[in-house]
Structure 1
Amino acid sequence: MANPIPLRDRKHTLELDRWLKNQAKAVKSPLNIAITLGSVNGFFLIAQCWLLAHVLNATAIEHQPIMAVWPYLAGIVGVFLVRAILNYGNQRFTFEAAARLRTDLRAKLFNHIHHLGPAWSREQRSGARATELVDGVEELEKYFSLYLPQKQLAIIIPVAILVFVFPFDWVSGLILAITAPLLPIFMIIIGSQTEKLNRQQWRSLTRMGAHFFDMIEGLTTLKLFNAAQKEARFIGQIAEDYRLQTMKVLRIAFLSSMVLEFFAAISIAMVAVYVGFRLMYGDIHYLNGIFVLLLAPEFYLPLRSMGTQFHARMDALGAIEPIIELLNTQAPTEHNGKLELCLQQAPNITLSNLVFAYPKRDPVLCGVNLTLPAGSRTAIIGVSGAGKSTLGQLLLGFLNPTQGDIMVDETPLAHIAPSSWYQHVSWLPQNPTLFHGTIEENIALSPRLEGHEAALKQAAENAHALDFINRLPQGFQTIVGDRGQGLSGGEIQRIALARAFYKDAPVVLLDEPSASLDPHSEQLITAAIARLAVGRTLLTIAHRLTTIEQSDQIVVLDSGKIIEQGSHDALMALNGAYTERYNQYRKAGL
């Protein structure tokens, strides 16, 4: 037998089990109804065995004609129909409880991920999170729909059977009462060994899903660098590890099932042999003996069913652990501002002594003081890890500063309601996301308003997207796939720019939208950005010389600090960090 589970792991298991039971409180009503219907079904089972015992005793022992037992047969048919209805109701309510819990838990997870924000999401592996949200939550269904109700029925039905068995044959009742605890004891001893294996199996599944998802996203890059076969072999190795983990779990599952069936069979055989000897010596009436023999298998059936569903509990414990970790992940402190912002023109944005540090890490930004003048273009440059993206996310409101203030004109950003601030900001990342839908839906991202079509066409024209949209089969009504499937990189970027023009927000944040584009597309994007910048406060995380040179203000970040700041000509005259960076860009052909 495997080594016993350490005390720490047992406590952890109890905590996970307690968490699952707490979730069940939300659907207490349908679960209680299901348990009640299952219990009533058990009493009708006893009645069915009693009627069947009368039929067997009358026909096989007393040799009565079949017509003499018609009332009993009719009763059996009636009880059978009632039990079928009760069983249907039991399954219906358990399914309802499990479905409601799945829906509520997924909503809770999505809501929590929403509160964690894009800053957290970009650090995660999409495949792992998708596995937890889809497969992980699905694994909980059997726990709530089968294991929890069966756990109660495994107590209620055997006790009810014992109540009826003892008056007819107290010795058989004693045998049943003594052997019954053996089944759950061995079930726990053997089944608990699968706990660690289930966790390993779930980690293997999450790892495989995450890696496979990442590989699909980067398939084009893998093909370009001739690395697809290597990654395919690596996924094959992960899949093989998952197969081996699954087989280990199944081996213990089959072993526990065999043990349960063995002890149940031995116990039933003991009752049968004892009743047989008593019938031989005439110590018990045939009717009573048949009734006890019919009830003996039914006595162990709920216990065996619980043993089968015990593995559903193990699967749920393995799946719920990463879900609880996700729910316990502390979301960044949200802006508690409630002020509704109403900007009539581009604002001045001022960063005062801005400091930001991720939990348990060194500060990413240290005492940043910066002003983004109204209607100006500011470019931020720096090496990777200098804090450029963090600064952008602070301005977007995805992160909150550890120290310092961000002022929008004279209003602290922390006092502005997040939803109100988002209405005044447009954000264009390097790789914008297009959704499955029409071109119109991907640009507008909102219900139709008055003058919608004219604004849509004007936005597309400003973004140099109208010409290629008009060439599409259905124009603005052309369906594109997820992530802009069917469009080129330049076309996707221009549609994203059209979004910014359509929204007409006074503040725009760009993460070098012209990167990784062909020269013609880059020229069109650069011209569109120049048009977009007019009358807006624009901040660009810059990597291209064309973007940097056209900026009114250039900020050089290094290790979270501003080391140089000014116009292109002024910074070149200093012959410092900006000049060095500028020459590096020129040599790299950027």
Structure 2
Amino acid sequence: MNRGPVDPRLLRYAQAARGYLVVTVALGLAGTALILAQAGLLAHGLATAAHGDVAAALTGTLIVLLIVVILRAAVSYGGEVTALRAAATVKSQLRSALTARALRLGPGWLGGQRAGEIATLSTRGLDGLDSYFARYLPQLVLGVLVPIAVVARVAVADWISAVVIAVTLPLIPVFAVLVGWHTKAQTRRQWRLLAILGGHFLDVVEGLPTLKVFGRARAQEQVIAKVTDDYRKTTMATLRVAFLSALVLELTAAVATALVAVEVGLRLLYGHLGYETALLVLLLTPEAFLPLRAVGAQFHASMEGAAAAGRVFEILDTALPDGPEARPGRATAGTVTADLRVAELRLDGITVTYPGRPRPALDGIGLTIAPGERIVLTGPSGAGKSTLLALLLRFLAPAAGTIQAGGDDVAAMDLEQWRRQIAWVPQQPYLFSGSAADNIALGQPGASRGAICQAARLAGAAEFIDSLPSGYDTPLGERGLRLSAGQRQRIALARAFLRDAPLLLLDEPTAHLDPAGARLIASALDTELADRTVILISHGQGWSAGSGGRVVSMEHGRLAPVVPGGRDAALVIT
């Protein structure tokens, strides 16, 4: 979709661009005035020198001309510095907005995206906006102001030359637009290939051990080589268009300038035009075409950043999967609250569907969860257990049905306030590259070292953490890859135990633990954490509901009959 030479979305999402454009226009006006002054002074000085009055007559003119040249350089320098600072501010705002939107869209949306593409977009892609703001937009302003000012000034001195310039000037924008349409398509394709390359390379690096074990590393080398070669060809094709368009614009400007030079020369030869006027026209004519040629050249350099910004705007405009935007007719988010320590959770007729899947992940689920209750969800893979936790975390919105807490619709509650009351341990917990203590205290900033150690003890992590080189201050490395799967699981459990959250969601919490470790976690849930509401997913038969709890079985997105021996669960099966 063509949005003109300036994308209005940049002004809507990046307010720093507005002030920058004002400064750009002001500097463009100053630069235009200096161009006219420089040409006039130079023409006067050369005409004076041609008449032999070189000494005293030229002294003042040359001094003023030197001042004008210095001011023109200062204006140009100030414009570029301002533009680069504005570009840095705009990139920072867009990156912050992109990160915030990705966080609000949640894991459900991010799971359908290429993580490498998002990373490339927010780094290398947005860096291309430097050329857009520092070079393209200033030249665009000059491309409007300078030709108008030059034609007006030349018209005062010689109307015939002004008519010739005015007639030939539109040829450059026409050719630039024709070439620009093709360049946009080429640049978009180049950006898509770069995003694919970045995403695939990240996947390969993260999965390198698996690829090596299964002997597929060489095949991935060939895939990356092919994508890289496609990117190279597209880049060269884009550069070829840019170079050819520059040739077209330069040729057009040269022909137009030559026309003016010929008619001025003939009239000067026959005495129909003064020498100083002829010099002024010849000096100003290239200045009329120069900004338009520069706009065409900088347009190509700025297209990569503009294409990346376009993709950012698409993400920023993506509808949220939860809350009033995605579910019209509901109350405004944040108007009600619920304390999960005392509020009863009720799922009524919940249905969840995933795009491209013929069968709902959850089909008419009804479930009541009392405060402080423990529920063990069992069932085969794909039964909908993890989807149920994602609903409670508000990573997903149900296609039908409601989730209520204390009688109020959860969708009408503030998202951050709701999640502050939840601690979650996923199947594959993510550890950051900070220390063990930092990873445990992730959900409880400012926690004391004693509280961190107590949470690690409950999760069975204290012993191996103490054996690390620097204990709790030992960096765990990217994704915690220095630890075993079981150790990473214990760190994640300690993180959840430390968080003072009344609702604890555990997705296969002991999948990577030995039987002794599993018993330790079960004991912690029954004793120190007995006041919390726990919803736990288990594929095996090793978990029991314990006192005051129940086992809920799921099959094909529905609740199966109550497991014999479990407490009556007040289940609603539809």
TM-score interval (norm. to shorter) = 0.7 to 0.9
Q: Structure 1: how far apart are the matches of 2:211 and 2:173?
A: 52
The answer to whether the aligner puts 1:35 opposite 2:25 as a matched pair is yes
Matches within 5 A, 1:203-222: 203-222=192-211
Assess, with a 3 A threshold, how the Cα gap between structure 1 residues 12 and 31 changes in structure 2: closer, same or farther.
closer
Give the corresponding residue for 1:556.
553
Counterpart of 1:5? none
In the alignment, the residues of structure 1 paired with residue 216 and residue 453 of structure 2 have an alpha-carbon distance, to the nearest angstrom, of 42
1:447 corresponds, among 428, 445, 448, to 445
- Specify which of 110, 118, 130 is matched with residue 129 of structure 1: 118
Whichever residue aligns with residue 55 of structure 1, its letter is G
1:252 maps onto 2:241 in alignment: yes
Aligned to 1:381: 378
Partner of residue 224, structure 1: 213
Q: CA deviation at 1:490?
A: 2.0
Q: State the distance in 2 between where 1:51 and 1:436 align.
A: 64
* Aligned equivalent of 2:37: 47
Match of 1:486 among 479, 482, 489: 482
Deviations 1:232-289 (A, max 9, x none): 2111111111111111111111110001111111222222233333333333222222
Structure 1: which amino acid aligns with 2:43? A
**SS of the counterpart of 1:565?**
coil
1:154 positional shift: 1.0
Which of 51, 71, 90 is matched with 1:101 structurally? Answer: 90
Who is 1:584 aligned against?
A: none
Residues in 2 aligned to 1:349 and 1:256: alpha-carbon distance in whole angstroms: 65
- Is 1:184 aligned with 2:177? no
| Structure 2: gaps (5+ residues) | 325-332, 568-574
Deviates more, 1:43-52 or 1:500-509: 500-509
Which of these residues, 454, 465, 476, is aligned with residue 469 of structure 1? Answer: 465
In the alignment, which residue of structure 2 is the partner of 1:305?
A: 294
Cα gap change, 1:220/1:57 in structure 2, threshold over 3 Å: closer, same or farther?
A: same
SS of aligned partner of 1:555: strand
| Structure 2 counterparts to residues 87-486 of structure 1, below 5 A | 87-312=76-301, 314-334=303-323, 336-342=333-339, 349-358=345-354, 363-372=360-369, 375-408=372-405, 413-414=410-411, 416-445=413-442, 446-449=444-447, 452-486=448-482
1:415–1:260 CA distance, 2 compared to 1 (3 A): closer
Q: TM-score, normalised by structure 1?
A: 0.85
Q: In 2, distance between residues paired with 1:549 and 1:507?
A: 16
Per-residue CA deviation, residues 363-389 of structure 1 (Å, 9 max, x unaligned), is 321121334455554332334432222
1:379-407 deviation line (CA, Å, top 9, x unaligned): 32334432222111112232333333434
Seen in structure 2, the aligned counterparts of structure 1 residues 35 and 416 have a Cα distance that, compared at 3 Å, is closer
* Greater helix proportion: 1
Conserved in 2, the CA contact under 8 Å of 1:388 and 1:557?
Answer: yes
Distance 1:16 1:360 in 2: 38
Q: Which amino acid aligns with 2:435?
A: T
8 Å Cα contact 1:31-1:93 kept in structure 2: no
Q: What is the number of residues matched between the two proteins?
A: 553
Identify the range of structure 1 (207-216 vs 319-328) with the bigger mean alpha-carbon deviation.
319-328
C-alpha separation in 2, matches of 1:186 and 1:15: 15
Q: SS at 1:212's partner residue?
A: helix
Q: Verify the 8 A CA contact 2:104 2:320 in the aligned structure 1.
A: yes
Rate the CA distance shift 1:25–1:398 in 2: closer, same or farther, 3 A.
closer
SS of residue paired to 1:404: strand
Secondary structure (helix, strand or coil) at the match of 2:403 reads: strand
CA distance in 1, matches of 2:252, 2:400: 67
Mapped pair 1:537 → 2:523: no
Whether 1:502 and 2:492 are equivalent positions in the alignment is no
* SS of 2:387 mapped into structure 1: helix
Q: 1:352 to 1:277 in 2, by over 3 A?
A: closer
TM-score (norm 2): 0.87
Task: For residue 509 of structure 1, report the CA deviation from its aligned partner.
Answer: 1.1
- Percent sequence identity is 39
Q: In the superposition, relative to structure 1, how do residues 151 and 344 fare at CA in structure 2: closer, same or farther (>3 Å)?
A: closer
* SS in structure 2 of the partner of residue 193 of structure 1: helix
Is the contact made by 2:361 and 2:383 (CA closer than 8 Å) also made in structure 1?
yes
